[in-house]
Amino acid sequence: MGVNPCILADSQDTHRSREEICMNVVIQPQGNLDLKASAMLQQNIARLAWEKYNRWFIDLGEVTTVSHSGLIALITANQLAKKTGRRLSLCNLKGSVMYLLEITELDRLLDILSDDDEPMGVVDKIVF
């Protein structure tokens, strides 16, 4: 069973209200993260930069393959999150997707949640 992609509570969040902590969104691409799906991912991420969410999750549990354009979309999403003061995490990675991130060394650049992480809450979900 995969992680329910939500914000992870830590000692730094003790002074924040639950409403502040739970301003999370999950983006869940399906199938192949190819050129078309990557464009959709980038559109969704660009829109999030203007919305209230402070924590973005990309749930890759239903993604079977990731193309070159998919890798670029993940890097771009991470850069936009940092630029706008948000946090982006990837979750529910299948073995082949995780392997691709490892051999490209993107697992060192991107925040990847493990199956042991404790979730708290999700506000919204975007599936495409």
3-class DSSP string for 16-53:
CCHHHHCCEEEEECCEEECHHHHHHHHHHHHHHCCCCC
Q: What is the pTM of this model?
A: 0.79
Q: Which domain holds residue 41?
A: 23-127
d(CA 108, CA 24): 23
Q: Tell me, yes or no, whether 83 lies in a domain.
A: yes
Name the domain count of the chain: 1
Q: Environment class of residue 16 by beta-carbon count within 10 Å: exposed (0-12), middle (13-18) or buried (19+)?
A: middle
Q: Tell me, yes or no, whether 98 lies in a domain.
A: yes
The rounded Cα 88 to chain-centroid distance in angstroms is: 5
Helices in the chain by DSSP H: which ranges?
Answer: 18-21, 35-48, 68-83, 95-103
pLDDT at 28: 94
Q: Tell me, yes or no, whether 41 lies in a domain.
A: yes
Q: Tell me, yes or no, whether 18 lies in a domain.
A: no
- Name residues of the chain where pLDDT drops below 50: 1-14, 16-20, 118-119
Q: Tell me, yes or no, whether 2 lies in a domain.
A: no
pLDDT at 70: 98
Q: Tell me, yes or no, whether 32 lies in a domain.
A: yes
CATH of the domain at 114: 3.30.750.24
pLDDT at 125: 77
Q: What is the dihedral of CA 55, 83, 35, 103, to 10 degrees?
A: -80
Long-range CB contact pairs, 47-51, < 8 A, 24+: 48/86, 49/80, 49/84, 49/86, 51/25
Q: Tell me, yes or no, whether 67 lies in a domain.
A: yes
Q: Tell me, yes or no, whether 77 lies in a domain.
A: yes
